[in-house]
Structure 1
Amino acid sequence: MYSKKRSSLLLTTYLLLSCVTPSQAQDVETNTSPQNPSSAQVQSTDKFNSSGNPLLFPTKTQEVEIEEQQPVTLNQAIEIALNNNKDLEVARLQLDRSRDSLNASLATQLPTLNGQLEFNQRGDDSPSPGNEDSIMRDRSLLLGQIELSYNVYDGGRRNANIARSSREVYLNQLEVERISEDVRFRATNAYYELQNADAQVAIAQAAIEDFSQTLRDAQLLEQAGLGTRFDVLQAEVDLANANQALTRAIAEQRNARRNLAQVLSVGQNVELTAADEIQENGQWPYDLEQSIVMAYKNRAELQQLLVQREINEQDREIALAATRPTVNLFANYNFTNTFTDTFDSTGYANGYNVGARLNWEIFDGGEASARADVETRNIEIDETNFAKQRDEIRLNIETAYNNMIANKENISTTETAVTTAVESLRLARLRFQAGVGTQTDVINAQRSLTEARGNFLQAIIGYNQSLNELQRAVSNLPDNKLFEVR
């Protein structure tokens, strides 16, 4: 929570002197007011859902023209990104597909029942009794069979397939979580970048007002015979430079808005603005060592490598199953009925069979063993990648943690610097107006204040970005829950 002093300083720094004299400042299209948006300002996120047609191809300028600017909060930006992200949608479809594959593998545990019915007609050229002349007769056969079979043992292939399919489901669940975490991270980071761009515009506006005041003071002193033309020219140059800085800040702001729209995959006609005020978004309650251990436990990437290793182990079992015997039990019932051309039944027979079959490919040239060796190499690769990923995670944790601590300390330091710079500029301007100070003192104080304002806001935004990186590196934070797998 911010103290009243810090909130006041943020207001002063973020929107100091909103009245900007140069015409360029009128082109600013930002909602930089650091106030919590009302329900009327921030609407439902449903309108930001991307088009249902992934092949949408705008061909007219009005189809890509910005029709409205809509402020969104950080939480809304994350919600929109999770709803619209195509990679996440594909991951969820792949999860559904893996569940279907698991059901197919489980079905092999049940016996199979097959039925067959055959009808055929044939001519029989044979002599009738007491007559040597042959007579062509039509005979019809009706053949039927029903068989129940069950695979008792298939060398371990069935159990390996079931285990493999089960681990694939878990692997895809982890992939949904990983992509969800990445989407949350990228949306949050893009939002903070937009906040920073908004802040730079506000700082540039405040700098223009400061330099405009200096120019007015220099002109008044020149008119009173207490100043020089050189002071006026120097003030005009500084004001022109401040206008250039504002122009660059506006361009960066527009780019940041488009980047946020791209990350959130919103419609072609919508431009998003940041509705949240710039403030510290939470505290990190864990030390460095606890953060590292939590990351090892939580990161989906590490768990995915372990699951992939288990899948490769099952693939090895499947390969070796080709060299093992298989045992099948079967029971069938069959019947035969013969009809003449007058459809009189001339013979009916039926019977049944019950038995077992043993199949064993004793030698396959070494193919199964070679395929098993391939999976063994894949297991070793998974283990090596696990160690590599673990080291990368630790580096990410330490980097984000150290940056967060540094930015946290800089917030207090830069806050003091802004307070001091504001007072220094006030005194320098009073001395200059009284004719006992120089314009150089005023200009130096203005530049110091602009830099201090930027450092202060950058420290806050940098802290939030480091906190976001730390949450992503640890994963499953800040709520300690996996993203819902749908």
Structure 2
Amino acid sequence: MQKTAGILAALLLMAGVAQAETLTLSDSLNRARATNLGLKATSYEETMAQDQIDVARSARLPRVDLQAGYTAQQAAQGFSLGPVSAETQDPDYAFLNFSIYQTLYDFGRTKTRIEEAQLQRQAAHYGYSGAEQDLFLQVVRAYFGVLEAKKLVEAANDELAQMTAHRKTAQALFDEGVVTRNDLLQAEVRVAAARQKLLAAQNQVENGWLNLDYLIGATPGFRAELTEDFRIGGMPAAGERVDFSNRAEIQAQRQVVSIGDLAVKEAKTNYYPEFFLRLALDYQQNSKVTEPAIMSATVGFKVNLFDGLATTARVREAVKARSRDEARLRDLETRVALELASAQNDLRVAKERITVAEKAIEQGVENLRITRDRYQEKVGTATDVVDAQTLLTQTRVDYFQSMFDYQVAAARVKRAIGEL
């Protein structure tokens, strides 16, 4: 019966492993694009900008207004002519006003506002793309952060196993009376320290998963098998001239500069008149007159003659805002170039670190073997063994960190040129 139960348990375990979901980096990026709430919130900016286009276009359509009500007065209005007095209206009356107002020509003000709104929509679109790229980079960091943390768990497990084996050796030698109790105590302390490292590494894995789950819109308890076969190709070489036209933030800022040009143009149109057509129907209930309803048609223009120099101030403000946005564009281009150069340097250094660490691991393994043999032969000390194991563990940690730093640096290069 126990044998049958054991077989069933093994089969269930194998089935669970077989059904474990595999999560690639590409899957993670797609999940983040589809479910991340921060990115979804940013997507509303473009739809809101589209609504602003409709608002600007509304100025080309007629404005239709209707006003109606009922007025109760203390006394009716009237007039006096010598000894004769007469009322000119009823004391209480209903009224109605219906008008259609159509702008005929405003020297390009409406056209400019529509163009501004269209550029705002394009800027919002590029802003969304930039936010998406930032999210992708966060996902890359989190994804490889989990992989790195899992490797650190493996290294910590290996160190714990090695320290436990060393403790057994020290215990055996102590029992033989070959070494002092200090060697055994030192081994016990090192085992405890290795357990502490293992717990910290396991906690890092869990925290990394929580961050990754948030970014990809998964439940906090979601876990999967992560793959390490992701490679980013087609990156510019160090010193190569790069066209940053694919960088969304730069495209968005260029749209903002263009909006500044239009804002200056729009501000200047306030110096010019606006020609309009107005059709109206005015009705006022009044038993004293023969025609309570008046229909009218007006063609005219309106222009501000003096507004306290507000228009002049708005033009100056628009010019300065445009200069500010141009300076921001130049600064952004400089910062992006710096971002690319920094990422390329980190990529190069990480690649060199991988090569150095690979060689160091081989040397560390051999050093530990020799040191352990010397200790068992009563030539070396327990401190030598502990130091050799600690050095090997640190070398492995350096290798894992450099390997995943290389992947993140490659993603940063892609992010800098807007192609992640």
Q: TM-score range by the shorter chain?
A: 0.7 to 0.9
Q: Percent identity?
A: 25
Instruction: Please report how far the alpha carbon of residue 93 of structure 1 lies from its aligned counterpart in structure 2 after TM superposition.
Output: 1.8
Instruction: Please report how far the alpha carbon of residue 265 of structure 1 lies from its aligned counterpart in structure 2 after TM superposition.
Output: 4.6
Contact 1:302 1:390 in 2 (8 A): yes
Partner of residue 104, structure 1:
55
- Aligned equivalent of 1:282, options 208, 220, 232: 232
- Aligned equivalent of 1:155, options 107, 110, 113: 107
Q: How many Å separate the matches in 1 of 2:233 and 2:51?
A: 43
Partner of residue 392, structure 2:
449
- Aligned equivalent of 2:274, options 326, 335, 344: 326
Residue 280 to residue 352, structure 1, CA distance change in 2 (3 Å): closer
Q: Write out per-residue CA displacement over residues 97-133 of structure 1, whole angstroms, 9 at most, x where no aligned residue.
A: 211221232343356688999xxxxxxxxxxxxxxxx
Contact 2:25 2:227 in 1 (8 A): no
The SS at the match of 2:390 is helix
Residue 283 to residue 419, structure 1, CA distance change in 2 (3 Å): farther
Instruction: Please report how far the alpha carbon of residue 373 of structure 1 lies from its aligned counterpart in structure 2 after TM superposition.
Output: 0.8
Matched, 1:372 2:305: no
- Aligned equivalent of 1:301, options 225, 249, 254: 249
Residue 274 to residue 116, structure 1, CA distance change in 2 (3 Å): closer
Matched, 1:192 2:164: no
Q: How many Å separate the matches in 2 of 1:351 and 1:395?
A: 68
Partner of residue 310, structure 1:
258
Q: Write out per-residue CA displacement over residues 183-241 of structure 1, whole angstroms, 9 at most, x where no aligned residue.
A: 11112212222222222222111101011111122222333454443332322222222
Residue 304 to residue 378, structure 1, CA distance change in 2 (3 Å): same
**Which is worse superposed, 312-321 or 158-167?**
312-321
- Aligned equivalent of 1:398, options 338, 341, 362: 341
Partner of residue 369, structure 2:
426
Aligned AA (2:270): A
Residue 114 to residue 213, structure 1, CA distance change in 2 (3 Å): closer
Alignment RMSD, CA only?
3.7
Partner of residue 84, structure 2:
none
Partner of residue 89, structure 1:
40
Contact 2:235 2:414 in 1 (8 A): no
Q: How many Å separate the matches in 2 of 1:286 and 1:379?
A: 33
- Aligned equivalent of 2:190, options 217, 220, 238: 238
Residue 243 to residue 106, structure 1, CA distance change in 2 (3 Å): same
Contact 2:24 2:227 in 1 (8 A): no
Residue 109 to residue 350, structure 1, CA distance change in 2 (3 Å): closer
Partner of residue 382, structure 1:
325
Instruction: Please report how far the alpha carbon of residue 167 of structure 1 lies from its aligned counterpart in structure 2 after TM superposition.
Output: 0.7
Partner of residue 229, structure 1:
181
Residue 99 to residue 280, structure 1, CA distance change in 2 (3 Å): closer
Aligned AA (1:405): R
Contact 2:351 2:402 in 1 (8 A): yes
Q: How many Å separate the matches in 2 of 1:274 and 1:449?
A: 29
Q: Write out per-residue CA displacement over residues 278-331 of structure 1, whole angstroms, 9 at most, x where no aligned residue.
A: 4663345311234x623x32222222222122223323333222220222357x
Q: Write out per-residue CA displacement over residues 237-262 of structure 1, whole angstroms, 9 at most, x where no aligned residue.
A: 22222122223223333332333334
Partner of residue 5, structure 2:
none
The SS at the match of 1:467 is helix
- Aligned equivalent of 1:464, options 395, 407, 410: 407
Partner of residue 166, structure 1:
118
- Aligned equivalent of 1:205, options 157, 177, 186: 157
Instruction: Please report how far the alpha carbon of residue 442 of structure 1 lies from its aligned counterpart in structure 2 after TM superposition.
Output: 2.4
Q: How many Å separate the matches in 2 of 1:476 and 1:208?
A: 42
Q: How many Å separate the matches in 1 of 2:17 and 2:415?
A: 29
Contact 2:120 2:259 in 1 (8 A): yes
Residue 256 to residue 161, structure 1, CA distance change in 2 (3 Å): same
Matched, 1:407 2:353: no
Q: Which has the higher helix share?
A: 2
Partner of residue 12, structure 2:
none
Contact 1:114 1:146 in 2 (8 A): yes
Q: How many Å separate the matches in 2 of 1:176 and 1:266?
A: 22
- Aligned equivalent of 2:419, options 453, 472, 476: 476
Q: Write out per-residue CA displacement over residues 47-95 of structure 1, whole angstroms, 9 at most, x where no aligned residue.
A: xxxxxxxxxxxxxxxxxxxxxxxx7433333233323333322222221
Aligned AA (1:90): A
Aligned AA (1:251): N
The SS at the match of 1:76 is helix
Residue 277 to residue 235, structure 1, CA distance change in 2 (3 Å): farther
Q: How many Å separate the matches in 1 of 2:387 and 2:373?
A: 14
The unaligned stretches of length 5 or more in structure 1 are 1-36, 43-70, 118-143, 337-345, 478-486
Instruction: Please report how far the alpha carbon of residue 363 of structure 1 lies from its aligned counterpart in structure 2 after TM superposition.
Output: 3.1
Partner of residue 215, structure 1:
167
Partner of residue 6, structure 1:
none
The SS at the match of 2:19 is coil
Aligned AA (2:394): E
Q: Write out per-residue CA displacement over residues 344-374 of structure 1, whole angstroms, 9 at most, x where no aligned residue.
A: xx99x99996x74233323333211111111
Contact 1:280 1:460 in 2 (8 A): no
The SS at the match of 1:327 is strand
Q: How many Å separate the matches in 2 of 1:38 and 1:184?
A: 29
